Structure 1
Amino acid sequence: MATQLPPAESNGSFYDKASGPEKVMVSSMNGSRNEWWQDPVQGLATVRHEFGEHGGVNMSIEASATFTVMEPETLGELFEGKLGPEMDFYIYSRHFNPTVLNVGKQIAAMEAAEAAYCTSSGMAAIASVILQLCSRGDHVVASNRLYGGTHSLLAHFLPRVSNITTTFLDLHALDTEAIRSAFTPTTKVLYFESISNPTLHVADIPFLASLGHDMGVTVVVDNTFSPIILSPLRLGADIVIHSVSKYISGGADLIAGAICGPASFINSMMDLHQGALMLLGPTMNPKVAFEISERLPHLPLRIKEHCNRALSYATYLSKLGLKVIYPGLEDHPHHNLLKRMANPGYGYGGMLTLDLGTKERAYKFIHYLQNNVQFGLMAVSLGYYDTLMSCPGSSTSSELSREEQEKTGISPGLVRMSVGYSGTLEQRWSQLREALDRLNLIADQVTGNCNSS
């Protein structure tokens, strides 16, 4: 059952633990910690600033697909792995690209990882990690509360094309024996989301990481819902995945992903002969990488405001007697767990859900909010500066059967909100309250305003 991450000595390796502090973050695989890393903001500030080619304060975009050499022998040395990016030698941008590498360093620093590399999408990151860790016939243990696309990848696509199977179970119940019994001799990965989409269950990362390591598997965590807020590698996880399209981008205009973890693992994914990223080719475009690099410095500020607005809305909606799920509320079953694990000062997340009971009520509610009062937008995704609203049961979680949705707490009337920060808090609350009143969604009318919460 035990699985080992590949060694660092892979063809075309770039991340070398001896290559300088800007390339060495924190490895949770071997238990080492760098004492200077205190939180994601401090981590980001330690990355060497890359200047533009002519001294610009912003780095240059290396838009070349291929790279030239001065001597023909150099190409052979590149393909043998004797030369590489650490010496400013590049082959092809599907392998390594300077602009993409720099953004990887920034995201690695944010996540307290030794290394990171960026992909063309979050799903590309997830699929590539699973395919790098698992061979044909291997097995995954995963949470039954996952984004619908991830669930479909694990439940349908991978079994069909590679006989990689998955056992889904409730990892939030913390039933040690039930979880252990799901592992088989071919299990290679324990997979879950730090905060689940869309039900907002919080994973006990230290507990699950310890259990996974006891069972000899690699612990992979999707941290898309909680960048800056949670640092899963510091809590014991081995690999962290992001859909960079969401909070990290913040503009709902880019599709991108990231994989963070040990240098040996990132090197293995870029191996010329066996690397999932190298051979499947879901590489981030350098122009996208440049855009991300410009947005990372203000990610902590954006996260704080997303969280502040979400907590304000959740608190007052709860006071109105509505069924609100938000980890920042004290009655959330995982509130104290999140409080213990979170990096202090950033909040409890920018996502909240509101259960209105029926799909008809939910549809009317989000329609009114968008088309009558301009509170937000009916759209999937998250992390945008405007509030995005959807009904997961008929959208982002529609890949799950009705029975699977019921089991995981996705009701037909569940509304998922990615809370934005545009407009004033009072303005947005008055719009939200108007929708609730006009559609008679509050049984007992309560007066007050959002700030009074």
Structure 2
Amino acid sequence: MPEIPAADGQMEHLDEFLRHPEIQAITELLRKNAVLAELIGPQHTTQRFANAENLALAFQGKLDAIDPELVAEDVANAVALAAAIENMRNDMDECTNISEIIGAYEFPDSTLHAIVDANPEFLLDYAVEYAECKGNFDYIFEKLGITEEDLTDLFSRVWVYSRLTNPTNELLEEAVSKMEHTEMSATFGSGLGAINAVIRQFVKPTKVEWFHFDEPGKAPFPVETTKGGKLVIVGSIYGGTTASMKEICEREGIEFFHMPISTFEKEGLPDDTDMVYFETSNNPTLRVVPIPKLVEEAKRVGAVTVCDNTFTPVSVKPADHDVDIVLHSMTKYLGGKSEDLGGVVSGKKDLVARLLDLHEGQRMIGGAVMAPRVAKEFLKNMANLPERLYRSTQNARAVAKIAKTFKDPEGKPLKVRTADSYKAYQYIRDLEMPETLGNGMVSIFLPSVELARSFANKMIERGVGKGAVSLGSTTTYYSIPSETTHSEMDLEEQDRVGITPGLLRISCGSEENLPAEVESILNELLEKPEPALAQ
């Protein structure tokens, strides 16, 4: 896997962190599934069947498994690919040109050659890491816990068409479910695609029944209207999500209701709530939602709970607090490189399965499906998610600690927030996870938008990060939400959820010099810290 730069002086506990049993279990499953995704080969959009009869049965949901002869052929090809990887590994010292190594081998069929030719570096990385010159392809399987039974299971699955499901996507979904402590997951083409599907699936729209005259020329008129449901948002959420939700609610006749956290804590949820949606750590204020109280209220009124956990993967498990559905924009922390769009819905099996229903499932009929090639990339990138999160956490805590020692031009202490600076975070974080794990998000409430721009520009000029609206990358990103991600909200709405013009959101990456450069630039822009505080 690609090496991640270390933040200077902060990594002494990294090895201990990575040896944590649950971190190891997540990492091992991701590595195993990433290799399985490569070994099962390129996934086409549609599945092959032995005959027309089997195809018809599969489409009708009446076929339990693929023809054994086809499965045996696919398994043999995958095993041959593993052997070819092992042989290439043994030749690496003699021949450093990857294409020359590949060309020296005659693969069992063109499919295997295409797999290696498309992504040789990844395959060789795993061969180098796990084969250790054993000269026996079985060692690759043994090291990762892969068996021919695993391959047989994957090739036996009936999936018909990729808009319904796909074995590569299922390998990724299995890993997300393990990470989130959920029963089932479903991947999507983007985070917003996942959110929109969940709303349409679980909040009923307004329905109107019309009376139609038999006589031509007479206009129909409504005779009965079934009122749509109510969607309640608690706390501040991503501005793009808000805009999309409002559009869906207006179009579908769903009531849209927004409550600040403080209002919810005083009043609870409206009795007619059908779905309550929230972000674990609010974007961009980072305020943490009191999940236990929210779940209790949702049960009282019979509402579905939906949590966007994009900001706090691994460290917070909303499902452990009985949240029904957990969402991620996989584009962010799970991807880690800002290279691929993706989303995922994870939660209780009976709910997630409804999204995949052939006739009424919003992933199936909505079509916002993740491509198998993208799922494969996420599997590879997620293998170092714990390490990326750890490094980002250390940088974020160092940046926050430094920023808190400064004063604004009026002499007031600079307001700085991270998720773990809120008391509520201690009640929702996974206590089995080391305290060294959090996330890389820091919000600095600078006194003006001009100061926020100046800070971001100076950091970018020094080559430490980029101006970008995404987050969760190994590269640091700076954004001013009032001008970007939350600009769809008017000033009154922004103020109501705590977004000020000078709020600067920093998604800390793993740059070694990030904390030092932050301190240097704050020294230029603001009053120097008091000597007692600077020690």
Question: Same fold judged by TM-score > 0.5?
Answer: yes
Cα distance in 1 between the residues matched to 2:203 and 2:345: 16
1:81 and 2:172 are equivalent in the alignment: no
Equivalent residue letter for 2:344: A
Q: Offset of 1:374 from its aligned partner? A: 1.8
Retained in 2: the 8 A contact 1:41–1:110?
A: no
1:42 and 2:127 are equivalent in the alignment: no
From 378, 395, 406, the counterpart of 1:320: 406
1:165 and 2:255 are equivalent in the alignment: yes
1:305 and 2:391 are equivalent in the alignment: yes
The 1:369–1:122 alpha-carbon spacing in structure 2 relative to 1, beyond 3 Å, is: same
Retained in 2: the 8 A contact 1:62–1:99?
A: no
From 480, 483, 493, the counterpart of 1:391: 480
Cα distance in 1 between the residues matched to 2:392 and 2:403: 16
The 1:352–1:237 alpha-carbon spacing in structure 2 relative to 1, beyond 3 Å, is: same
Equivalent residue letter for 1:49: K
User: Match for residue 413 of structure 1?
Assistant: 502
Retained in 2: the 8 A contact 1:190–1:217?
A: yes
Equivalent residue letter for 1:149: G
1:113 and 2:186 are equivalent in the alignment: no
Cα distance in 2 between the residues matched to 1:59 and 1:157: 43
Q: Offset of 1:51 from its aligned partner? A: 7.6
Q: Offset of 1:248 from its aligned partner? A: 0.5
The 1:57–1:73 alpha-carbon spacing in structure 2 relative to 1, beyond 3 Å, is: closer
Equivalent residue letter for 2:242: H
Give the length in aligned residue pairs: 399
The 1:294–1:390 alpha-carbon spacing in structure 2 relative to 1, beyond 3 Å, is: same
Equivalent residue letter for 1:170: P
From 88, 109, 133, the counterpart of 2:202: 133
The answer for unaligned runs of 5 or more in structure 1 is 1-36
For residues 90-119 of structure 1, what are the alpha-carbon distances to aligned partners after superposition, in whole Å with 9 as ceiling and x for unaligned? Answer: 211111111111101111111111111111
The 1:335–1:80 alpha-carbon spacing in structure 2 relative to 1, beyond 3 Å, is: closer
Cα distance in 2 between the residues matched to 1:348 and 1:88: 37
Retained in 2: the 8 A contact 1:188–1:218?
A: yes
Retained in 2: the 8 A contact 1:61–1:99?
A: no
| TM-score normalised over the length of structure 1 | 0.82
Cα distance in 2 between the residues matched to 1:158 and 1:443: 49
Cα distance in 1 between the residues matched to 2:316 and 2:274: 24
The 1:51–1:406 alpha-carbon spacing in structure 2 relative to 1, beyond 3 Å, is: closer
Q: Offset of 1:333 from its aligned partner? A: 4.9
1:103 and 2:189 are equivalent in the alignment: no
Cα distance in 2 between the residues matched to 1:169 and 1:74: 52
Cα distance in 1 between the residues matched to 2:389 and 2:460: 23
- More deviation, 242-251/263-272: 263-272
The answer for unaligned runs of 5 or more in structure 2 is 1-19, 66-152, 206-227, 408-413
User: Match for residue 11 of structure 1?
Assistant: none
Cα distance in 1 between the residues matched to 2:355 and 2:37: 31
The 1:243–1:82 alpha-carbon spacing in structure 2 relative to 1, beyond 3 Å, is: same
User: Match for residue 4 of structure 1?
Assistant: none
1:437 and 2:523 are equivalent in the alignment: yes
State, as a whole percentage, how many aligned pairs show the same letter. 28
Cα distance in 1 between the residues matched to 2:333 and 2:261: 25
For residues 402-437 of structure 1, what are the alpha-carbon distances to aligned partners after superposition, in whole Å with 9 as ceiling and x for unaligned? Answer: 001011110000000001112x2xx32332222222
Equivalent residue letter for 1:442: E
Cα distance in 2 between the residues matched to 1:119 and 1:40: 25
Q: Offset of 1:446 from its aligned partner? A: 5.0
User: Match for residue 344 of structure 1?
Assistant: 434
User: Match for residue 148 of structure 1?
Assistant: 239
- More deviation, 379-388/208-217: 208-217
Cα distance in 1 between the residues matched to 2:186 and 2:367: 12
1:319 aligns to what SS in structure 2?
coil
From 298, 302, 311, the counterpart of 1:216: 302
Query: Relative to total residues, which structure has the larger helix share, 1 or 2?
Result: 2
For residues 262-288 of structure 1, what are the alpha-carbon distances to aligned partners after superposition, in whole Å with 9 as ceiling and x for unaligned? Answer: 222222111111010000111101111
Q: Offset of 1:211 from its aligned partner? A: 1.5
What does residue range 371-390 of structure 1 map to in structure 2 within 5 Å? 371=461, 373-390=462-479
